[in-house]
Structures are given as structure tokens and as C-alpha cells.
Amino acid sequence: MNGIRGIVFDCDGVLFESHKANLAYYNTVLNYFGEPPVEESDQARAHLCHTAASTHVFTQLLGEERVPKALSFAAELDYHQFIPYMKPEPGMKKALSQLANFFPLAIATNRGVSMPSILKHFELSGFFQTVVTSHDVKHPKPAPDMLHEAARRLQCSTNELLFVGDSELDQAAARSAGMPFAVYRGDLQADVQIGHHRELVELFIKDS
């Protein structure tokens, strides 16, 4: 793709398979409120837990009136207990190590305070020039705020960055921001279809 000067990655479903981690996290909060857990078989609610920002998830699962208390309780949780449930996507770390030599890389995720711990645990922090989370913007994805902020920090125009995501929220954010979109392991309409992280290396780095 001509004109691309940097790459922005979503976290869940792109860098990591994290469905189990997300459900364990949200079910810990639900248990605190005496609510039944979200099961993997409940596809709609499980997908919500995997893609949306915490405030929206808690609003849907607990009701708006309990959101402040849920956020307060969640903020006290040590996210390290959920990291063992996260699985790095195949070839992800190797691809990042190669891409980072040629492009500034960023993350734009609806995750919040857990992101630094995850990157440190998996020794990925050094690959990214910036990480934008739901705590850094007024409106999380599907709003474009996060991608505009990533572009500002990387000192690029949004049309000079490729956003790699896997969900409808990612697709909508990219479209609203005017940022080219690569869908990872999905069939969403996108500028690029990626089935493995090495394909990004092959796409952008000659003689890869």
C-alpha cells in the first residue's frame, strides 16, 4: 500500500486471543454484584465483553446506575491474574520486531489501565511508539477519537496510517477517521485482508 507511514494495531483479537481473559475479568465484576457470569455460548454478550470499552460493557450488563461502582471495583482488580488467559497471536511478536524497524507502530484499544501490564508481561512495550486507550479519549471506538489521537502522536495524517483490527467497532472507527483498514482474520469489508501477521511484513517490507 503506497503512502502508508505507520501502522496502528487493535489489541484484543489482533495481537492476542483474549476471549477467556476478558470473560474472566468481567465475570469477576459480575460475581461481585451477585450476577450470573457471561458464558462463551452467549455470543452477543461475549462479543460485547471482547470489543467494547468497560463503561459500555458495564452499562449493558449491570445497568447505568451500577456503572460507577463497577468501575471503582474493577479499578482495584490486579489484572495480572487474567494475563495467563491471554494467548499471543501466531507470529505477532516476530512481525512487530521487523515492522518496528521500518515504521512507527501504535496501539489503539478500548482497553484501559490493563494495557501497560500486558505489554510489559509479553515484552512488547519497545515495539510501540505510543499506546492509546479508552482512558485517553472522550469517546472510545467505534468513534474515531482514538485513531485521531494516535495519528497526532505519530505526527501523521490519518490517511498515512493503516489500522489493523478485527471487529465492527474497528471498521467503523477507521472509516470515520479516514484511515485505511486491514481486517485481521475476518471477513469484514476492508482495504486489506490479513490472515497472519507475517502478511503485514510481506506487504510492507521488501525481501521479507
pLDDT of residue 113: 87
What pTM was estimated for this model as a whole?
0.92
CA 128 to chain CA centroid, Å, is 13
Cα separation values, 30 from 12, 77, 155, Å = 21, 13, 40
pLDDT of residue 54: 93
- E strands, the chain, are 6-9, 16-17, 87-88, 105-108, 130-132, 161-165, 181-184, 192-194
pLDDT of residue 207: 52
pLDDT of residue 2: 80
What amino acid is encoded at 31 in this protein?
A: N
Q: What is the CATH number of domain 6-17+87-204?
A: 3.40.50.1000
CA distance 173 to 184: 15
Collapsed DSSP state (helix, strand, coil) of residue 29: helix
Residues of the chain with pLDDT under 70: 207-208
Collapsed DSSP state (helix, strand, coil) of residue 137: coil
